[in-house]
Structure 1
Amino acid sequence: MSTKFLVVAIVALSAFSTQTAVAQKTDLAAIKCSDFLKMNESNAVNVVTWLQGYYTYEDDPTVVDSDKAKSKEAQIKEYCADHGDTDLVSASAIFMDKKYNAVATTSLANPRQ
């Protein structure tokens, strides 16, 4: 089972577990950092869980780590506090995408490349 499927399934199940089910579509690419900072805790956790699945690669473990999600949420919120106009998907890449981090680390180690 792919990690993305597992994360999507968990998010979907959590959406159905609420007492009042409301059909809702959210374009996460349209969410700005300032919008993310205004979200209630439940919605923020759901978005971070989705982002974890979005930035999961085939070779990543198929584990949903709620402690890691909380840590990533805090990192993203700290970044977003200073970058309100940045879209959330781009902002979260800094903390969640291991390929982004590999490029950033290489660039910092070799600034003339």
Structure 2
Amino acid sequence: EPHPFFQLQGSDVFCRLPITPSEAALGSTIEIPTLDGPQRTTLPQGAQTGQMIRLVGRGYPVGQGQRGDLLLELEVVVPKQLSDREKAIYEELRQVERFNPRAHLLTGP
């Protein structure tokens, strides 16, 4: 039966790792599940959905003390419901942010 989180790819273990918008934008140290139990790892500032993080030697055992890697595919997940405080913070961010990921679409090639 397939595991709900981990997928085996040869000796490597793959999983999609949901992260918050603030963890993605600011970077963060988070706790992640591994085959050996929880482990802390660092997300880089500016992490993107689809970005891969490789934890060497944290995958499936292949014998003689060797293991594959744990491959984490980041997925930035935006909350569907926000508290009033969160809404206010996001609104403030909207007023001051300069980043526009669609700017190149509006100016043409």
TM over 0.5: no
TM-score (norm 1): 0.18
Greater relative contact order: 1 or 2 (C-alpha under 8 angstroms, separation 6 or more)? 1
- Which has the larger strand fraction? 2
Instruction: Give 1 or 2 for the bigger CA radius of gyration.
Output: 2
TM-score (norm 2): 0.19
- Which has the larger helix fraction? 1
